[in-house]
Chains A and B, each alone.
Chain A
Amino acid sequence: MTTSQSRRLCDDQRQERMLPWAMLAELTHACPLRCPYCSNPLELISRSRELGTEDWTRVMAEAAALGVVHAHLSGGEPLLRADLPEIVTAADGAGIYTQLVTSGVGLSRSRLDGLAAAGLRSVQLSVQDATAERSDRIAGARSFAAKERAARLVRDAGLPFGLNVVLHRHNLDSIDEIIALSVAWGADRVELANTQFYGWALRNRGALLPTRDQLRRAEDKVAVWRARLAGEVRLVWVVPDYFEGVPKPCMGGWGAVSLTVAPDGAVLPCPGAYVLPGLEFPNVRERGLRWIWEESAAFNAYRGTAWMGDPCSTCPRRDVDFGGCRCQAYAITGRADRTDPACALSPDHHLIQTITAKSAPPEHNAPPAEPGPEQGVPTAGMGSEHGVLFAYRRHR
């Protein structure tokens, strides 16, 4: 979430007490798609372990009492939950603004009408690329036509409509077509989200990482579109932190503005935190959300600045980016309490530079030519097509 520029009359939300503003509700990890950059953990939670309707109803009430204003109903594909309208009703009844985060697969007019009647406030739809052939290839499933239909339904329903496109080496060169598609589909807001390398994306990094040239060209084109669409469509460019030398203020700080509830009820400060060693994530089946937010060891582990070492502990930006991302620090350096190596000031920054320097143009990226760390790891559903080598997620 961004802060207001109208500083004189509107106060910045960060000046408030430390209470969560937003909740990412991962209702299920099941999904008809198999995006190679999916942010779900490598160990997907099975449907039999998912929270029930009453659990989510209680979670929404507890979240509202704790200060949560926004709930992002996500997954996996949240439309796979038959009780989605009940969950929306519970959130809305508790005073929480809900946004559906969906692949669009399974959205029908009657389904959307039911959700809107239950109090759904906005929809964020994902699309993988600008053409059916390329989008379906990345998604690992025929889904583009369903997305196109979903976009029309959301538009017709008059709900605020955001489109999310994860960017990587295979679609950055199509950025013009992607933005044109967003305009044609009637999006109010387009999130051009450069891949963040956790979970499946980290596993598939070798096949997804763009080149610096690709990024530069795409960013120039976005700037042209932004001027052209000013006042009509908001274009949000999520920075490729591997290339910028500047870490992202991950989740607005650990346990500072947001919490994630996983399908099985585990509560995490960020959806990538599963991988971090030594943290036990409390579960809403056993603990109240307030205790989890205020007292649990997991939420206090990297809260504030006291845990920081050099160079973050004395850096003037420590209250701006909070030392970057803990999951990334762990993924790259093996230590979750290091400075995010995406930061140019990090003593480990060369590790990121080595990775980005190796990224060759897509034409030269036939699978055997660039063995990444993901190769050779035994996995279900390793798929290879059109020179793209991905480990695909598979649900048990």
Chain B
Amino acid sequence: MTGRRPALAASIMMRHDAVRDADLLVMPERIVVLNDQAASVVRLCDGTRTVAQIIDELTAAFPGGAVATDVPEFLDRVRAEGWLR
């Protein structure tokens, strides 16, 4: 599982909303507001990084956090929504 290289599904765009100062996932009938942690994970899901690499990068950026357990759990949930491929 950690060898997978997650990327946003083709129908989904991530964009920054300057009016609300928030990161959004925009899809045909739905808009999701990401909080800062979620945005920092999704931003790394660009199809080039493996899950293990994403965890390494985030651990370096946020030492002391529960990145190793939180991130895979979050990615599973996001994949279940159909937002990642």
Q: Which residues of A contact B (CB under 8 A)?
A: 1-2, 4-6, 9-13, 16-17, 19, 21, 64-67, 69-70, 95, 97, 99, 121-122, 124, 158, 160, 162, 188-189, 231, 234
Using known A-B contacts A16-B20, A67-B20, determine if residue A121 contacts B15 with beta carbons closer than 8 Å. Answer: no
Does the CB pair A4–B19 fall under 8 Å?
A: no
- Chain A residues near B77 (CB-CB < 8 A): 6, 9
Beyond A122-B11, A124-B28, 8 additional contacts (C-beta under 8 Å) are: A4-B33, A10-B38, A69-B17, A95-B15, A160-B10, A160-B11, A188-B11, A189-B28
Q: Given A9, A12, A70, A158, which contacts B38 in the complex, CB threshold below 8 Å?
A: A9
* Contact digits for B20-35, partner A, Cβ 8 Å, 1 yes 0 no: 1010111111111111
Chain B nearest CB, measured from A231 CB (Å): 7
- With beta carbons under 8 angstroms apart, the residue of A2, A11, A99, A158 that contacts B33 is A11
Question: Is B28 touching A12 in the complex (CB atoms < 8 A)?
Answer: no
Per CB-CB distance, the 5 closest pairs between chain A and chain B, nearest first, are: A160-B11, A9-B38, A122-B28, A67-B19, A4-B32
Tell me if A99 and B28 are in contact (CB < 8 A).
yes
Number of interface residues of B (CB under 8 A): 28
> Which residues on the A side are within 8 Å of B15 (C-beta)?
95
A1-B33 CB under 8 A given contacts A67-B17, A158-B10: no
B83 CB to closest chain A CB (Å) equals 9
In the complex, what distance in Å separates the CA atom of A69 from the CA atom of B12?
A: 13
Query: With the chains together, A326 CA to B26 CA distance in Å?
Result: 29
Q: With contacts A1-B30, A5-B81, A6-B77 known, is A66 near B19, CB below 8 A? A: yes
The answer on a CB contact under 8 Å between A9 and B13 is no
A281 CB → nearest B CB, Å = 24
- On chain A, the residues within 8 Å of B20 by CB distance are 16-17, 19, 67
Contacts of B47 on A, CB cut-off 8 Å? none
Q: How far, in angstroms, from A66 to B30 measured CA to CA in the complex?
A: 18
A188 to B22: give the CA distance in the assembly, Å: 27
Q: Mark B49-82, 1 if CB is under 8 A from A, else 0.
A: 0000000000000000000000000100110011
- CB-CB under 8 A from A160, the residues of chain B are 10-11, 27-28
Contact (A10, B35) CB under 8 Å given A5-B81, A19-B19, A66-B19 = yes
A-B pairs under 8 A by CB, number: 77
Q: How far is the CB of B6 from chain A (nearest CB, A)?
A: 15
Q: Taking CB as reference atom, which chain B residue is nearest A234?
A: B82
Whether B28 lies near A2 (C-beta < 8 A) is no
With CB as the reference atom, state the residue of chain B lying closest to A67: B19
The CA-CA distance from A97 to B25 in the complex, in Å, is 11
In the complex with contacts A65-B19, A67-B17, A6-B28 CB distance below 8 A: no
Chain A residues within an 8 Å CB radius of B27: 160
| Cβ-closest chain A residue relative to B34 | A10
Pick 5 A–B contacts, CB within 8 A, sort by A. Answer: A1-B31, A6-B77, A11-B35, A16-B22, A67-B20
Q: Smallest CB–CB gap between B38 and chain A, Å? A: 4
A10 to B30, CA, bound (A): 13
Determine whether the beta carbon of A162 is less than 8 Å from that of B29.
yes
Determine the distance from Cα of A5 to Cα of B24 in the docked complex, in whole angstroms. Answer: 15
Cross-chain contact A9 with B37 (CB below 8 angstroms): yes
Q: List A contacts of B29 (CB < 8 A).
A: 1-2, 99, 162, 189
List of B residues within 8 angstroms of A234 by Cβ? 82
Nearest neighbor of A124 in chain B, beta-carbon distance: B28
Chain B minimum-CB-distance residue to A2: B30
Task: Contact check, A97 vs B30: say whether CB atoms are below 8 A apart.
Answer: no
Q: Once bound together, how far apart are the Cα atoms of A12 and B74, in whole Å?
A: 16
Q: Tell me, in angstroms, the Cα distance from A16 to B35 when the chains sit together.
A: 12
Q: Within the assembled complex, what's the spacing in Å between the Cα atoms of A89 and B72?
A: 38
Complex Cα spacing A312 to B13, Å: 38
Report whether A97 and B13 are in contact in the complex, using a CB–CB cutoff of 8 Å: yes
Which residue of B has the minimal Cβ distance to A1? B30
**Contacts known (A65-B19, A67-B19, A122-B11); A13 close to B32, Cβ less than 8 A:** yes
* CB closest residue in chain A, given B78: A6
A16 to B33, CA, bound (A): 9
Tell me the bound Cα distance from A330 to B24 in angstroms. 36
Contact B19 A121 (CB under 8 A): no
CA–CA, A4 and B77, complex, Å: 11
Contacts of A124 in B (CB 8 A): 28
How far apart sit A69 and B33, CA to CA, in the bound complex (Å)?
12
